[in-house]
Structures are given as C-alpha cells and as structure tokens.
Chain A
Amino acid sequence: MNQFQYVRATKPQAAIEAVAKDANARFIAGGTNLVDLMKRGVMTPQKLVDINRLDFRKIERQNNGLRIGALALNSTVADDKQVRERQPLLALALNAGASPQLRNMATVGGNMLQRTRCAYFYDVTMPCNKRQPGTGCGALEGINRMHAIFGFSDKCIAVHPSDMSVALVALDATVQVSGPKGNRSIPFADFHRLPGDTPEKDTNLEPGELITAVDVPDGPFTKHVHYQKVRERASYAFALLSVAAALDIENGTIKAARLAMGGVAHKPWRLTAAEQVLVGKPATEETFRQAATVAMQGAKSFKHNEYKLRLGPNAIVQALKTAAAA
C-alpha cells in the first residue's frame, strides 16, 4: 500500500478545507471500501482525513421526516426503532447488504460513496475508464455478467453496488452536504451520475464536499414494502439485481407506489414510469406484470448479462407481490 499522511478531524470545516485544497486527499469513515481499494492499489490517496470524530451520528426527527447522520452505522440505522417503524424499506435494504461485521463499520455516507465492484475496475492490470480515464472499458467486450442494462455508455458499463441507495432513491431522500462554498441539498436521484464520458465521477459532489446527513421524508410506506435481492448465495454477496418496492394500498387499490432497481445501472435506478402504471390499479399480479413490462423498456444487455432482461421483470413482480402481502 502507498504511504499516506493521516489526520484526525475534530471540526467539519477543517476536514472540508483539508480535502478541498488537496486533490490527493480523501475523507475516511468506516473505511470498508477505501481500505480495500488502497490495498489493491486502485485508490492511492496521499492524505486521509479521519472524520469519525465529527458529530454526524444521530438519527432524529426533523421537518416531517428522519434526518440520518452521515456517520450513523449501517447496523445502527437498520436496528433503529424510528427507521423500522417509519421507513422499513430502508431497514430491509440495509440488512440485505454486506455482513454484520461490515454493517458495524460502514457508515451511511460511505455506503453511498462505495465504488463499483466491476472486476475490471478492481484489477489494476486491466483497462478501466473509471479507474484510469482513457484506457478503455475491459467489461464492454469482457466478462460482463454483473453489468448494467440501463444508462450505460461505451466508456463504462459498471453498476453501483449499494443496496441502501436503492431504497433511498425510492423513498425520495435528500442528501445534505457541506463544502468549501457552504451547505447544499441534493435530491437522492441526482446524487449519483450516469457514466457518460466521465465514468471516473460517480457522484455530483464537488471537491471537498462532505456528506453530513440524509433526510428521508415521512410517507405512507410503513407496511407494504419489500427489498428483493437476487444473488448467487443466500447472504453476503453483491446483487445480480435487486428491487425496492413500496406500496400504499387501500381496499385492494394502489394509492401510491415506489419502485427502484439495483445492479442494473451506474446509479440506483428509479422506475417512475412503472410507478405511474401501478397507481389507481388493483394490487394484483396482472397489474404488477404491466408495471414490470414498462420498467424494463429501454433495457439492453451485453454478451453475458442477457439473463437480467428476464430476471428484472420477474424480480419486480416478486417484490411487488411480497410487498402487497406484507
């Protein structure tokens, strides 16, 4: 591993300044992804600013919703009484990710900032436009069974690995950030980027900007929710594909719906057109199948991930059926 300078921040502003003025500096919180990437030489920061002492761990009621501190641990959020009561979809998605040990280390902010698990990104001997812009995409003509079916470009077909983010985009969360130019809010759907010509940029954060909290607004999705994760073993594996589904059902009719997919794009993939299909219709398998068909419009596969075109709609139907029965 490369050598680096380690500094411990006690004030947010000092941490932000340290990272803003040094392109080779990075924040470190749980470290579960960054340390891994540093060991492999994928990321080589010259300075690490430890933000674990900053006061961003609280989960509290605020403005008709929950404000979840960026440094709240994944396990803390998943076990939090308010989260389980008001946003059970978020708790389900968190518990579907990683392992108990990793959830005890990983923070909410860090979870959002995870890098892709594309094998070509991780292998420094392979071309990868995300790791090293201009070198090409190894996955495009390579082993691409884990890769995107929506929103990719010829520069990058990697997917975002977070389960939590799939729930947060479905729940219309907002990301609070603090940076050298002050504070701002970013709607969750605008936080992550599609690869386009700049796959090296995963998010719309500016240099030095620090996530301080995620706001999740109250909603009617406290009962009929499900997080369907399809993976190659029963637990502790990244998603081949996942679906976050939330329904508000009254007398058998869907009043409101939220739907998003993971493992299909460079960002958590909200399915607003499919949600509109669901609203006002009976909560039946036929309705769910119609929504799934709309959800998959525009999907395109590569040599090894054609299965996702069939797995996707089936997982959506399964997620909606399970949510409706919950």
Chain B
Amino acid sequence: MATNHEPDVPANHNENRRTFLKQSSLLTALALVPGPVVSAAEAKLDERVAEAIEQIPLSLKVNGKKLKLKVEPRTTLLDLLRENLNLTGTKKGCDYGQCGACTVHVDGQRVNSCLSFAVMHEGQEITTIEGLADGDKLHPMQEAFVKHDGFQCGYCTPGQIMSAVACVREGHAGSEGEIREYMSGNICRCGAYTNIVAAIQDVKSGGQKV
C-alpha cells in the first residue's frame, strides 16, 4: 500500500493494535515461506514488488477532508478506508456485498464499500461512521441506537447506522414494514432488529434533521 501517500488522518486508539496485527500477520506469512524468499523479504524486496504494481492517482473527499492518494486498482473502497486511511469504523463483514457492515455514503447515497474499487470514486465525497457526529455531539441516529440498545456485539452497528440515516433521508422510514424492507441490506447476527427499528422510528418521529 502507498504508505508514503497516507494523508494526515487523526490517530485513533486502535492504531497500535492494528499495527501489531499487520506486523504479526506479516511474520506469520514469512514463517510459512521457504528460506530464499525470506531473505529477499529481509532485503526489502517485498517493498519493491509492491511499488511495481500500478498505482493510480485518486482525489476524493472523505468526511469533509480533501485527499490526494495513489492506490492500486484492486483496492476496494472498504480497504482504502480501513487499511490506507485508518478509518476502521467501517467494518468488513462478508466482503461480498451480502451483510451491509461496510455501508458508507458516496455523494450522499448509501453503498456497499466492499463491492467497488476505490479508483472508481474519483472526485466523489465519502462519508463514513467517523464523519457522522458533529465533534463530540453524536448524530441523532447514533444517540437513538444507544437509547434503544440497537446493538449487542456492535460489529454491524456502523453499517446499520449509515444505512438507517440514509433510510430516513430517502423517505423510506414511514412504517415498521417499510423500515424493515429498506434496512434488509444490513444483517445483524445478534438479532437486534426490533431495537434497530425502534431507534429509526424514534429519529423519524422526532423530526430532527438527519
């Protein structure tokens, strides 16, 4: 990945854990490969290989911040957010567009970030769960999820909240049935659906600006 192009994103408390995970998985991989490859890697050959892969310039706006990046074409929008920009609020669930954990807004529309390549989003504006709150003030949908206990393990929650905000903005939160239909792209394995629907109804009926 193009670490030299990483933008100045605020460090978050997960960073040390994530750096450790990256290092430890690299070490595991090295332990499994034959000797000559290990010595090549030790001689920084792995970085040269990475640099040989085509890097495409990419300009986009993430949570209001303009970024100029270089990305490999294979990088999905989800991996760009999580691995390159350290915005790990957006979750990787299935990675095949079946669970909705990776839901973000692109130019205001909710999409599965795992199913598109980052390079396809030139010039677009991405909003992730990190971009929803106004400083320390939670977005009304975030508050409603806390109030109604709209989660258990929390893994699907960022995707649920991004989808829920879009659901209200689109005008698809008119009834419990409509909410359930228009939230069907977000799976919750803990089964917090009843409380998620209650949270969305609360925000919708509260009339706050979402």
Residues of A within 8 A of B56 (CB): 6
- Cβ-based interface call for A251 (8 A): no
Question: 5 A-B Cβ contacts within 8 A?
Answer: A3-B54, A8-B122, A32-B97, A102-B97, A235-B184
- Cβ-based interface call for B163 (8 A): yes
A234/B111 in contact, CB under 8 A: no
CA distance in complex: A39, B103 (Å) = 18
A105/B111 in contact, CB under 8 A: yes
Main secondary structure of the interface of B (DSSP, over half): mixed
Sample of 7 further A-B pairs with CB below 8 A, known A30-B116, A36-B97, A101-B111:
A4-B74, A6-B73, A40-B96, A75-B109, A99-B186, A100-B184, A235-B180
Compute the total of residue contacts between A and B using a CB distance below 8 Å.
Answer: 86
A99/B116 in contact, CB under 8 A: no
Cross-chain contact of B166 among A30, A39, A100 (Cβ < 8 A): A100
| B contacts, CB < 8 Å to A | 53-54, 56, 73-74, 76, 95-97, 100, 103, 109-112, 114-117, 119-120, 122, 163, 166-167, 170, 172, 180-182, 184-186
Cross-chain contact of B117 among A35, A235, A236 (Cβ < 8 A): A35
- Cβ-based interface call for A322 (8 A): no
A100/B182 in contact, CB under 8 A: yes
Residues of A within 8 A of B103 (CB): 101
As a 0/1 sequence over residues 2 to 27 of chain A, the CB contacts with chain B under 8 angstroms (1 = contact) are 01111010000000000000000000
B185/A28 in contact, CB under 8 A: no
Residues of A within 8 A of B76 (CB): 35
B115/A234 in contact, CB under 8 A: no
- Cβ-based interface call for A306 (8 A): no
Q: In whole Å, how far is A216's beta carbon from the nearest beta carbon of chain B?
A: 24
- Cβ-based interface call for A183 (8 A): no
A99/B100 in contact, CB under 8 A: yes
Residues of A within 8 A of B100 (CB): 99, 101
B73/A5 in contact, CB under 8 A: yes
A101/B185 in contact, CB under 8 A: yes
Residues of B within 8 A of A5 (CB): 54, 73
- Cβ-based interface call for A50 (8 A): yes
Cross-chain contact of B112 among A3, A8, A102 (Cβ < 8 A): A102
Q: Which residues of A, 9-63, contact B by the 8 Å Cβ criterion?
A: 28, 30-32, 35-36, 39-40, 48, 50, 52
- Which range contains the number of A residues in contact with the other chain? 20 to 34
Residues of B within 8 A of A104 (CB): 109-111
Chain B minimum-CB-distance residue to A104: B109
CA distance in complex: A36, B78 (Å) = 13
A31/B117 in contact, CB under 8 A: yes
- Cβ-based interface call for A325 (8 A): no
| Among A6, A32, A75, A99: residue with most chain B CB under 10 A | A99
Cross-chain contact of A48 among B73, B170, B181, B185 (Cβ < 8 A): B73
CA distance in complex: A32, B113 (Å) = 10
CA distance in complex: A235, B172 (Å) = 15
CA distance in complex: A9, B38 (Å) = 41
B181/A1 in contact, CB under 8 A: no
CA distance in complex: A132, B188 (Å) = 36
Chain B minimum-CB-distance residue to A236: B184
Residues of B within 8 A of A102 (CB): 97, 112, 115, 185
Q: In whole Å, how far is A129's beta carbon from the nearest beta carbon of chain B?
A: 24
Chain A minimum-CB-distance residue to B171: A79
CA distance in complex: A39, B53 (Å) = 18
